[in-house]
Homo-oligomer: A and B are copies of this chain.
Amino acid sequence: MSTFITTFKEGNKEMKQQLGGKGANLAEMTNLGYPVPNGFTIHTSACSLYQRDQKLSDTLKNDIKKHIQTIERETNKNLGSKSNPLLLSIRSGAEISMPGMMDTILNLGINDEIAYELAKKDPLFAYDLYRRFIQMYGNVVKGIPMEKFDKIYDSFDTINTDSLLTIINDYKSLYQAETKETFSQNPYHHLYEAIESVMASWGNERAVYYRDVNNIHNIKGTAVNVQTMVFGNVDEHSATGVCFSRNPSTGKKELFGEILWQAQGEDIVAGTHTPLPIQSLISKKPELYEQLHHLVYELEKHYKDMQDIEFTIESNRLYLLQTRSGKRTPQAALKINRDLFDEGIISKKELILQTNEHDISGALHAEFNIDTVNLATEIGHGMNASPGAAVGRIAFNKEQTLDYVENGYNVILVRHETSPDDIQAMDQAQGIITAQGGMTSHAAVVTRAMGKPCIVGSNDIKINNQNEVIIGQKTYQKGDYISMSGTTGTIYDGKLVLETQQKPKEFDQILNLGNKHQTIKILANADTPKDIKTALLYDAKGIGLVRTEHMFFDEERIRLFQQMILSQTSEKRKIALDKLLPVQAEDFYNLFKANGSLPITVRYLDPPLHEFLPNSPHAIKSLSDDSKISVVDLKKQIQRLQEVNPMMGHRGIRLGITYPEIYTMQTTAILIAALKHYNENPTIQLNINLMLPLVSDLKELIIMRETISKTIKNYESKHQVSFNIKIGTMIELPRACLIADEIAEHSDFISFGTNDLTQMTLGFSRDDIHSFIDDYGQKGIYKNDPFKTIDTDGVGELLKIAVQKARSIKPQLPMGVCGEHGGDRTSIIFFENIGMDYVSCSPYRVPNAILTSAKIGFQ
């Protein structure tokens, strides 16, 4: 075996890193005894060297020549021979497939003399082959625009030997004019140049951009496959085709593909000829169909996955030119995996490991038809706050939204940022886009809970007034149509085609299997009974986070809450709280009822109080009317509560310390709800965890724990009951990680709020990073979005310290993560590794998290 070249006979499918995907699979098929034309693969490492030297070394050239000579011996054909010419295809193939690189050059080896000789047998075939080669070589290797070749070709009404000869001459003149060189007659010259072109294309702009965007940095080059040509265009018993072992849209087990008679591969792509369905082969060439069918399913069994195969029939002989795992829709992916398992082709372990997280979430959300996306105009980007796709008319406020919805239109709500006042509009809109705000902004959090697409913090949006917005370069009026993908964060002009997905039955089947093999436990964040129902539908093991403040965002409740905030004395505050108490109690009762005996973790009020007060003059006026506080006074009070850095201000347990009556009201509401639940469902024991947020000092925890415990004890003894209630800490500050041993001593559980912890550890305000995060991405600072995937070096290090310290005091202390990272694959694996017991994520991310958790166990 040479240093830089491996023949198909020498390789196998495990050698992708060296041979690329295409080369490795060609070698594998060769060794399985399948009909693969003779050839060899130049290693990816040769491409790396080429990137350095910008030319092929003489050693490599000699090596290539030696391998060509072997092929010549084995095929009895010679490169450049008039009588018995060897023609070759040159194709790129990296370890993973990626667009942007030079792909294929066919028919290499032909020249004037050889064409002339071949023409003696079949002039149309011979000259067409030569014409194709000049065209492909000129275009791919020399960069001559394809239109210029097409223009020449299209100027002939009929194609016959004469016209082909004229075309060849015109092509050569075009080649000479464009390259300032004569079209070479030396096949080796062509061969080396073609190989160099493939290698050079690794470094072209589009390929580099693709790798950057997709964070592909560990692959150093493409392999180059050199293979004996077989001809799908040699006679009427010849054809070229593509087929899948299963239907990529539905997952159904059937040969699915197309065949084009008397043609070469590029003819299918070019769309100049209309191929037939692969099934047409059944009647036309039953034995060939049988052979293809057999080979395809042999390959599928061998690779244990649905295959996408390229083939050529040359004079009734079938050749395989490529096999790979076929792309498919999320629905199809789930069905295929499940079917492969049922058919005994893959084991349960393989089923779980092979099921892709993207397919799980893809099967849950409506997305755009992929063809319309390719044709669509992207007008802007933002943070992908909540997945799914939506199409609708632009509305800027509640009135507009309701107006459109009443008239039967879909709406996309476009706002600077949202506030509790917008809940109704958000509920009615198909999707939400905000100019400001980050992944934990009101819009982001609320829409994720609603399972509704949302884009936040888009710098491309400038709202001029309540009738007009500039998105990117274009101005849109109220009522204009746009489309948005909350999955990718992209905004499109006009109406894209939505494909509403049917959740396939395999979704549940696979997750049920995974569920049984969970390692780290998957809980859900939920704020409403509806959220809980969704979470339990997806088999969450309980509720890891109830954000009680979200209960107040409801339009009616918020007035009571605002009244509480605006109370200037502890007495007045108590009066307002007394009004809130039955409301909260009823809320908790409904949550408890929905959740049953599974654990449920309720977080005490967390955000700064000013978040509940209005911003807009209109909303302030409205609150003034309702609260009988003058607008001037109200503005003063709002001003007084404003903070310079609210993220690090008066919130979390700090509210509990300064206004203990608020936390006591919440505790009492929980107790009332628990009692009601007990009276109505005496056989179901609730499993309640109360969580104190933003703890930074032990004393805070001790004080609040004592206050809460006292309230519980008093209530229990008054009502002669005993509840199963635990009190724990939410760790979201670096300091809390560093004193986790002290905290553990006074906590029944610890839950890490990794969103805020990331903000504090990195000093990144999610609401503000938009101003520099693009530059950071481009310059390769923070390769992964630390708010999506846990930053293991910084935040992860703190988590490790915290887990270690806490376990040193209480080895069995339940510890987990609630926060966006709880739904992220890489993060879940990290959390499991450092010893967390559970993660809690939004209900729609639970299925994926369960899958990841199961995979960990199998790996």
Contacts and interface: CB of A to CB of B under 8 A. Distances in A.
Interface of A: 436, 643-650, 654, 657-658, 694, 696-697, 699-700, 703, 732-735, 738-739, 756, 759-765, 767-769, 771-772, 775-776, 779-782, 791, 793-795, 797-798
6 contacts: A645-B765, A648-B648, A650-B771, A658-B772, A735-B761, A738-B798
Contacts of A794: 696, 734-735, 738-739
A646 B764 CA distance: 10
Given A644-B647, A776-B657, A763 B765 contact: no
Given A643-B771, A658-B772, 4 more contacts: A647-B648, A647-B765, A648-B760, A732-B763
B734 A798 contact: yes
Contacts of A703: 779, 781
Contact of A696 (B646, B658, B762): B762
A753 to B, nearest CB: 11
Given A734-B798, A776-B657, A780-B699, A648 B764 contact: yes
A780 B703 CA distance: 10
Contacts of A733: 761-763
B647 A700 contact: no
Contact of A646 (B657, B735, B768, B781): B768
B739 A696 contact: no
A762 B794 CA distance: 16
Contacts of A781: 657, 697, 699-700, 703
Contacts of A767: 643-645
Contacts of A772: 650, 654, 657-658
B648 A768 contact: yes
Interface centre among A644, A739, A765 (most CB of B within 10 A): A644
A349 to B, nearest CB: 36
A278 B798 CA distance: 66
Nearest to A694: B763
Nearest to A647: B645
A768 B700 CA distance: 18
Question: Copy number in this complex?
Answer: 2
B775 A658 contact: yes
Contacts of A765: 643-649
Contacts of A779: 657, 699, 703
Given A735-B794, A761-B734, A768 B658 contact: no
A605 to B, nearest CB: 14
A648 B645 contact: yes
A775 B703 CA distance: 12
B649 A646 contact: no
A603 to B, nearest CB: 16
A762 B776 contact: no
Contacts of A647: 644-645, 648, 763, 765
A358 B449 CA distance: 57
A201 B168 CA distance: 114
Contact of A793 (B646, B739, B762, B793): B739
A795 B735 CA distance: 7
Contact of A735 (B648, B654, B793): B793
A252 B607 CA distance: 60
A767 B644 CA distance: 6
A648 B759 contact: yes
Contacts of A658: 771-772, 775
A742 to B, nearest CB: 8
A703 B775 CA distance: 12
